[in-house]
Amino acid sequence: MGIAKGRAGLDGEGTVRTIRSMVAIGALVVLAACQSGGTNEVLDVSNNDETFTEADLRAYCPRVTLLEGTAFLRTYTSGNDGNPDEIVHQAVISDVTRTCRYRNGQLFMTVAAAGRVVNGPKGAPGSLNLPVRVAIRAGENLPYSQLGRIDVAMGGGATQFIYRDDQIILPEPETRNLQVLVGFDEGPYDTP
């Protein structure tokens, strides 16, 4: 009997060890499966044409700021500007960023703005065209100002958008006095 009890104890411990091992192996298989599909998408940047040198990473890249009063855009039903019950859409720019590269004495910039749009009390699903301006000041001069537009498909709730201007080419700045401004521009439009 003592031998039978001893074997039963060993078999019980062995079974517990086997179950633990199987659970551990199963967890590893699940983790490996989770990582195998997304690794190439996240880590494979070899197809990206844009390359940055160490000099690019250390170079001057002016900060981007939202121009005061231009981070919000509200559209109203005709003739009802300012009436909160007549808001059709309300848009906000919540984040801005930029990248800079220097080549052959020129500064190449890409500026991006991200935000969201929500329907107001008078809003409905449809398409909305948002006017976004990117401008660059160098002291008192304005070497770059471009009005762009982004179409946003509105559903019943909030919709996110990203606006990107990758056409900015300026002479390499002699001083660090550039100021990049982004915001909604409702007009009148006296610059492109």
**For the domain that residue 98 is a member of, what is the CATH number?**
2.60.40
> pTM higher than 0.75, yes or no?
no
Higher pLDDT: 24 or 106? It is: 106
Residues 149 and 80 in one domain: yes
Residues 131 and 102 in one domain: yes
Of 29, 46, 63, the one marking the end of a domain is 46
Residues 177 and 83 in one domain: yes
Instruction: Say how far apart CA 141 and CA 174 lie, in whole Å.
Output: 14
Per the domain annotation, does 192 fall within a domain?
Answer: no
Residues 92 and 5 in one domain: no
The answer to whether 182 and 162 have CB atoms below 8 angstroms apart is no
Residues 155 and 77 in one domain: yes
The answer to whether 161 and 184 have CB atoms below 8 angstroms apart is no
The answer to whether 161 and 130 have CB atoms below 8 angstroms apart is yes
Residues 58 and 41 in one domain: no
Instruction: Say how far apart CA 142 and CA 22 lie, in whole Å.
Output: 67
List the single range of 43-47, 48-52, 67-71, 126-130 with lowest mean pLDDT. Answer: 43-47
Summarised one tens digit per residue, pLDDT across range 85-106 is 999 999 999 999 999 999 999 9
Please name the residue that has the structure tokens 């001893």: 6
Residues 9 and 97 in one domain: no
Residues 42 and 86 in one domain: no
Residues 106 and 136 in one domain: yes
Residue 186's pLDDT is what? 86
Per the domain annotation, does 88 fall within a domain?
Answer: yes
Residues 96 and 38 in one domain: no
Residue 31's pLDDT is what? 37
Q: Assign 151 to helix, strand or coil.
A: strand
Tokens of 122: 């008078």
Residues 121-136 have a mean pLDDT of 94
Per the domain annotation, does 112 fall within a domain?
Answer: yes
Strand partners, 182: 66, 134
Has residue 129 got a pLDDT over 60? yes
Residues 116 and 100 in one domain: yes
Domain holding 63, by residue range, is 54-184
Closest by CA position to 161, among listed 170, 152, 174? 152
Number of domains into which the chain is organized: 2
CA 40 to chain centre: 20
